[in-house]
Amino acid sequence: MHKREDGFVVVDEDVCIGCRYCHMACPYGAPQYNAAKGHMTKCDGCHTRVADGKKPICVESCPLRALDFGPIEELRENTVSLPQWRRCRLRTSRSRAL
DSSP for 9-50 reads EE--TTT-----HHHHH-TT---EEETTTTEEE---TTHHHH
- Mean pLDDT calculated for residue range 21-26: 93
Query: According to the model, what pLDDT value does residue 80 have?
Result: 75
How much is the average pLDDT of 38-57? 94
Q: Which is more confident, 83 or 25?
A: 25
Range(s) within the chain of domains with CATH label 3.30.70.20: 1-44
In this prediction, residue 96 carries a pLDDT of 53
User: What is the overall mean pLDDT for the chain?
Assistant: 87
- State in words which class domain 1-44 has: alpha beta
Q: How far is CA 57 from the centre of its chain?
A: 12
The model carries a pTM of: 0.64
In angstroms, the CA 34 to CA 46 distance is 19
pLDDT at 81: 72
Q: How far is CA 50 from the centre of its chain?
A: 15
pLDDT value at residue 34: 94
pLDDT > 90 in the chain, percent: 62
5-33 burial code (b ≥16 CB/10 A, e <16): eeebbebeeeebeeeeebbeeeeeeebee
